[in-house]
């Protein structure tokens, strides 16, 4: 859906949580098609035993007409501590494995998270 007043469009991603932990997922939205151009952020909660969650995010589309993601920050609780891991698309890394996972798939499955590690995959 496009907002004709400001040129922004909506993108959507389905998140599947297989970690057994409640996750707060912050999506870093790209401004256009170039990974060096940062847009805004959107956050979604995906519970430990929740069904897949569809997240809507808004940004400026690239030349292809799609709104792209530049990365994820995933946070969860370990006892009384909040822990997180972030993985971003590098400025010159358009088309690499992580960029493709985020931007050529409808669904991102988070299989495991740990301090400094993230196991995620994409599917359609």
Residue 95 sits in a domain of what CATH number?
2.60.40
Question: CA 24 to CA 31: how far, in whole Å?
Answer: 22
pLDDT along the chain (124 residues), means of 10: 68 97 96 90 95 94 90 94 92 88 96 92 96
User: What is the sign of the dihedral through the CA atoms of 74, 78, 80 and 81?
Assistant: negative
Q: Residue 93 belongs to what domain range?
A: 2-123
For residue range 6-20, list pLDDT tens digits in order: 788 999 999 999 999
The two three-digit tokens of residue 24, written as one number: 């707060």
Q: In total, how many domains does the chain have?
A: 1
Model pLDDT, residue 5: 54
Q: pTM of this prediction? A: 0.90
CA–CA–CA angle 81, 85, 89 (5° rounding): 160
pLDDT for res 93: 83
């Amino acid at each position: 859906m496009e907002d004709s007043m400001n040129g922004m469009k909506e993108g959507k991603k389905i998140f599947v949580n297989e970690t057994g932990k409640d996750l707060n997922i912050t999506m870093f939205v790209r401004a256009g098609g170039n990974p060096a151009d940062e847009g805004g952020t959107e956050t979604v909660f995906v519970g430990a035993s929740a069904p897949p969650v569809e997240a809507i995010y808004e940004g400026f589309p690239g030349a292809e007409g799609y709104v792209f993601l530049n990365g994820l920050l995933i946070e969860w609780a370990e006892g009384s501590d909040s822990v997180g891991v972030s993985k971003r698309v590098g400025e010159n890394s358009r088309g690499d494995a992580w960029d493709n996972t985020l931007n050529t798939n409808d669904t991102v499955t988070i299989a495991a998270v740990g301090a400094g590690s993230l196991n995620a995959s994409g599917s359609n």
